[in-house]
Amino acid sequence: MAAHHLILLLLALIASSSSPAAFAADPNQLQDFCVADTNSNIIVNGFVCKDPNLVTENDFLYSGLNHPGNTANQLGSNVTLVFAQQFPGLNTLGVAGARLDFAAGGVNPPHTHPRASELLVVIKGTLYAGFVASNNKLYTKVLYEGDAFIFPQGLIHFQFNNGKSDAVAWASFGSQNPGRVDIANAVFGAKPPISKYLLEKSFQLDEKTVELLQAKLWITNS
C-alpha cells in the first residue's frame, strides 16, 4: 500500500511539473490586479500591492513611448524599459515591454533575460538580430518593418542596426521583471572582478588583454 501511494505521489509530481503553469516565468495572480507600491520597504518576490481603494486609472497607464531614446552613446542604442518598476500596474500580471531605439550602426550587445522570453517587433528601419542556442548554433535574421522575432528565455541574443537610418523596435516579455545580463559587462565588469587567471584560461587571452578589458567602462542598456 505504501508503495502504491508513493507511485501516485510521483505521478502527481511529474504531472504538475509538466503543466504550463509550472513553467510560467511568474506565478499566477490571485486577484484582478496588484498595482505595485514602489515606496514600500517590505521585501517580497515582486512588489507589495498598493491599497486597491487608492488605485486609479492612471495606475494602468504608461505614457511617453512616442519619444525616441537617446542613442548618443558608445553603443548607438537606447532601451526604454516598461517593467513593473517603471509601470507599477504590471505587477503580478506576468508581462513587460521595452522600446528599443538604434542609430545607424547601433547595437544592443549580446545579453540574456534569465526570467523571460522576448518577442521583438520592428517598427521602423531594419535590424540584424539573432540568438545562440545551447548547442552553440546561431540563429539570425535581417528584420524589416513589421517583422517579429522571438528570443527564447535565457539564451544569448542581440540586435544590430545594419541600415543607414534610425531603427525602432518594440520588445514584449513574459515576465514583469525579465532581468538582463550583459555578457561582456558580466564577465569583464564584475565587481569584485573575476580572477584574471581564470579569464585568461577560459578565453585564451594574455594577462594584458584581460586587464585592458576589465579596465573598460562597460555600459549597458538595462
Binding-site entries: 108, 111, 113, 118, 157
Q: Collapsing DSSP states into helix, strand and coil, what is residue 156? A: strand
Q: Which residues are annotated as a binding site for oxalate?
A: 108, 113, 118
Q: How many Å apart are CA 193 and CA 184, to the nearest integer?
A: 12
Cell of 129: 538580430
- Between the alpha carbon of residue 29 and those of residues 94, 96, 123, 134, 190, the distances in Å are 9, 15, 31, 31, 35
* Maximum separation of any 2 CA atoms in the chain, in Å: 72
Positions at the binding site for Mn(2+): 111, 113, 118, 157
Residue 161: strand, helix, or coil: coil
What is the C-alpha end-to-end distance of the chain, expressed in Å? 55
Q: Are 168 and 101 in contact (CB under 8 A)?
A: yes
